Every structure is written in C-alpha cells, then in structure tokens.
Structure 1
Amino acid sequence: MKRWFLYIGACLLAFVCFACTGEMEADGSGKERSIKLQLQLSLPMDASARTTRTTSGFEAGSKYENYINFNDVNSYRIYFFDTNNNYITRFIPTKTVMTEATEYTLYSVEGEVPEDVLRHASNNAMDFKIVVLANWENYEEPEAGSALKTICNADWAQFEILKSFELGEENLIPFYGVNEYEDVPVQYGGTITLKESIPLLRAMAKVEVILDKEDELDTEEVSFSDVTLHGYNSKGYCAPMNGAYPQNGHILHLIGDQNEEGSINKTIPFLRTQSDNKKETWIAYVPEYDNTSDEDNAAYIELRFDIQTETDEKDFVIHFADDQTDIENTSFDITRNHLYRFNVTIDPKGNLAVEVNDWENVFNNDFIF
C-alpha cells in the first residue's frame, strides 16, 4: 500500500509540473478541436514491484540503466496502434518530466493527440495502444497499417552487445513498452490523462557477481582478478517477440530463433564497478541467451581470485542454474529485463557459498569447489 501511495504521489507531482507550465488553448476553432494527452512511462527499481515467488530487494539501477534522453527526438519513438496491432501514427511530446520515486523511475509525457487517432474515435471514445521505443540503434518509420510484430521482428530492430559495460548518454540499454487503453473519452479543448502507466522493458539482462568480504575470515584483501562470461549472443532484439508482453514476456526473442553459431566459445570480461574492503561488484549487460535447450551450450561464469598464482590452478565456475549440483535439470535461460545476481562469500572452511537472485525469483545455492 505504501508503494502505491508513493507511485500516485509521483504521478501527481508530474501533473502539477505540467499544469504550472502550460495553459489550456481554446481561443480558436482549430485549437478547440485539439486534445492534449498525458501519459506515464515507468521503470521498476525494486524487485517487489514485480510479482514474486519470494520477495528480495535489489539495489536501484544506475542513472543510465533508467535513462531516456527526451531532449533528443531521435533517441525515442512513441506510436499509436489500434487494438488489432496496426500502426496509426506517431505521437510527438511537447513536454516531459522525469520523477524518481522510491521504487520507480517515471517519465511523464504530454502532447497533442494526432488527428489520425481522433478519426478512429467512435461514440466520443477511443480505443488504442501506445508503443514506446527508446535508445534503439535504428528507427524506420512504419507505414500506415503496419503490424506491430513487423516492427519488433525487423532487422533494424536489433542491437549489438555494448562495447563497454560502463553506461553513458552514448551507451544505453534499449527499451520497449506497450499498453492498451479502452474507452478513452474524447474531450476537445481539454486534456486526457491516462491513469495506467506504460511499463518499459530493458532489452538486455544484467548479470552481477558480488564478492562479500564481511565474513568471519580475514578476506578484506581478497579480490577477483578476473570475472568472465563464457557463452553469449553478440546481438539481440530490442523488443520481445511480436511485441507482446507480458503474455510472451518469457519467450526468448533470439535472432534466427536460436543462439549464434559458436556462441558458447565466446567470452567477455565483466566490468568492476565497486571494490573496497567490504564488497566487490562486477557487472555485464547481455542479450537474451538460450541456456536450457543444449547442455553443451550452457553459459557459465568463470571467477579467478588475485591470490591464485599458479597458471594451471583451476578457476571457480558458476552456472546459470538453481542447483549447481544438478545443472542439467535446473538451468534457466538468460532473459531480457532480468537481473541475475550472484553473491559470493568465503565460509570459515575456505569454501565459496553462492546466492543466486534474479528480478522475479530468489535462489539460494551453497556449493563447494
């Protein structure tokens, strides 16, 4: 309940900002025919904002994990579709306000309803879908009547893995969002506020490996020298398959409907983002990956400590699985918009204990190397 009040409060704050910066235009016949539209785009910043089997919080994403540059019209697209998923026209905002609530980042957007959308109104009410694309590498404007799935499955709707895992204004995660609205009243000369926000999905998964140094042993000086992902796809789709979510939210949308040839032989190093005497964090952002169809192609993380000096000394391995002792039956796919967190500690006997979390579920795994 507290989260809901915070969310409503953030929306109201955004609307007040709109009200203070603009007045109703109704002094001419053309302006009286216009309708303003206000809508919200939301990015959850806490695991409890999603349906969970076991509740577990995670740290809020960095600024750029939730970032859309609305000052650059080339960095995003907002489209109207009819309820049959056919393209109508583009929506161009005139105002945007970003609000960071406790568990959400909200983008409140205002603009004029296009005439092509008003023509679809029946009995002074409108039914439509709004689709949001943001931070895509490419955009191609759809033709009238184009199906949503042709956009989401297009070659130009693909992205390449980031050249660096250090995010910034020129190095961002692609987003996709869609929501359907029914019986929206036509209020000429007025402003329509869509109460239900559009959830945005990150096109990539985030993988974190965290070394916890606050234990019974004297491990403050212990660090990873390398954290490496074995097995990944170098490309992915910016949107879920056919643009459907959440119905198809957990159906992998892979290029060619499969992992890239030789994907298991690809390796990529994690980026270290934090290192002190209490905790060390390494991260990677990756496209979706089929981790369950073929055991021989299952991805894994390789860890090496700086205290390992022998070149032939075996590195530690973590698998994307609920049970590290039963990888074949408990592996899970690497899915868009999920955080896979591996908390690593060294127990009093010198063994490693690993806790595996993602945005929807919590898995606790203890295993000995």
Structure 2
Amino acid sequence: MAPRAGQPRLRRPMLPGLLLVAAALSRPAAPCPFQCYCFGGPKLLLRCASGAELRQPPRDVPPDARNLTIVGANLTVLRAAAFAGGDADTAGDRQQEGAAAAATGVRLPLLTALRLTHNNIEVVEDGAFDGLPSLTALDLSHNPLRALGGGAFRGLPTLRSLQLNQALGRGGPGLLDSLDAALAPLAELRLLGLAGNALSRLPPAALHLPRLEQLDARHNALPGLGPDELRALERDAGLPGPRLLLADNPLRCGCAVRPLLAWLHNATERVPDARRLRCAGPRALHDRPLLDLEEARLRCGHADGRGEEEEAAGPELEASYVFFGLVLALIGLIFLMVLYLNRRGIQRWMRNLREACRDQMEGYHYRYEQDADPRRAPTAPAASRTASPASGL
C-alpha cells in the first residue's frame, strides 16, 4: 500500500540480513567433530571429553580451530604427526604419514593452544606435534608418561608455554634424559612447568633455554641447587634470568645449600616463593626458613672425605642442653621424694636384711668353733691305732 501524503516512508526491516551475516561470521569452516563441543567466536574453541572411547585425536577438527582441549580420554600413545593425520598402526606407515604431512602442508595451521590433560598418555613419539606451526601453548599435565621421544617437540618452533606438571614421575632417569633432549630445540619457550614430578635435579637444557622467563619446580625432590645450575641461570650481556618456583622441596640445609643461600641473598626477586623455602634436614634445622639461616654458621666437615654436613653450635644447641639438664634434675627430685615417702619401709627392709646377715654369720661361726675343738675331732682309722710289732720293742 502506498504511503499517504505527508507521512514518512517506512524502511524495510534489516534484522534478518544482520542475523545472516552474524551466522556466517560465526559458522566454522567445517562441522564440529562428533566427540567434541565447539564454541564459535573470534577464536574457535573445541573441547573434547568423551571418556575411554576416544583413543586418538579427532581427525575432523575444523582447520580454523584456535584452541583444542582433550580431557579424560584414553589416548595412551601420541604417534608421529598425531594431529596431522598420523594415526597408522605400523612404524612404516607412521613414518609415511609424518613425511606426507610435512610435504603436503598442515591440517591445523591456526591452532595456538593445545591442552591434553588427564588422558592417560604414556608415550609421546618423535614428531607427535608435527603439523602445528602456530602452536604457542601445550599442556601435557597429569599424564603417566613413561617414554618421551627426544624429538617430540621438534615441530613446534613458536612454542612459548609447556606444562608437564605431574607427568614425569614414572619414567625414571631415562625419561629425564629424553626430556633434556626434547627441550633443547625450544628456543622460544617462555614458561616451563615441572611441578609435582619428584625430580632430584633440574634438566640442564631447561636452564640453558635462552628466552625462558619462569620455571616451576615446586613439589619435587630437589635437595638444593648446585653451583653449576646456578651459573646456568645467569644470562650473558646483562639479560634477566628466569624466575624459579622452588617451594615444597626437601632442601638439605647444610654444606650443600650454601651456594643457593648466597644466590638467594643476591637475587631474592628471582624466586617469588623464597619465603616459603624450608629445611627438611638436618634434624637440628628441620622446618627452619632457609632465608633465616646465616651462611657463616654452616660449615662442612671433612673427617670422612665426603663433606658431611654440620652446623656450628648455637643458642638452639645450648637451649637443648639446658632443657636436658632440667629433665635430669626433675627425675632426681622425684627419686628423692620416693625415697623419703618410703623411708619406714626402707628402714624395716634394711633391719631384716641386717638380721638375716647376722644369723648367717652366726651359723658360720658356730660351725667354725665345732671344727676347731680337738675333743670333737674325728677318730682315727683302726689300722692306724694298731701298733706295729717293732713299736713294742
């Protein structure tokens, strides 16, 4: 119907067109995988948590995915090029898949964050993350890793954050050597998480990463840091070294901790949890804050040639001696009180003992007198009383 004269012309509604444009912008380039939940937006987020039935990374992840999270699956083994189609069963097929993925390009060129926690991952093969050139954050925490390929992270040139918290406790020394080799090529790494792995030493490659900003080593079995490790944390040309998180480690506060204590006094800001560092031994310093110790009071004994840890006697040792003396005095006082309260019984017991001894001595004396009387001497034998014929002459 034509508008009347003098009335403004009504514009056609544009809401359906706006909805179509928004839907087109938010629609992913590929359908969401069956096992996952996809959340649209400027950076597509996928979360896959399907339990034990998910045994390999989904192959139909949209190529414009930016964040991928797989939690609670049963991946067990991450094979070579696992996120670029490398899911073959045999070694030869895996090598062919990895070579093909490297030659034909990548399937997830925009993926920047990959989280694989609580997936029962036990083995990560060489090149497991090939085909992810834009990945900057990788989280493998809370997985029972037993084997890690020395080239597991070779295809991650832009990786900046690597989390391996509670993931290395079952692999033994061989896994630590493999981790050292796997960390070496990560020149852009900024954050490294190694908390909760029962580590007795830090991987040398982690200390030599040129751009590392923070190393999380809490809840491990570190007795301290040696001079070589502390020197590796210092950068050339005045560059700032990485921050360390060392809380909840069983530090041996003796001779071996002197380099760490001196380093902390000069670079306390490098260890944000320095005030939480406490001694696990020796017994005299148990649970003492590390920063409260004086370096001059810690000395090394060399009587056995092994540098046994000792600490100079101080007020704490003197106080222990005073307390021990007070305990002995109290015990002596109690003993005297018991003697005083039982003095009558003790006197009666002593009198009875004295009478018993006197009776015993009188018995011995009587027998001695009887034996000494010649009239009570025993008679001689008959043969000795009979005189010989010669004696009568």
Class of the TM-score when normalised by the shorter of the 2 chains: under 0.3
The alignment's TM-score, normalised by the length of structure 2, stands at 0.25
**Greater C-alpha Rg:** 2
Which structure carries more strand by proportion?
1
Higher RCO, 1 vs 2 (CA within 8 Å, ≥6 residues apart): 1
The alignment's TM-score, normalised by the length of structure 1, stands at 0.26
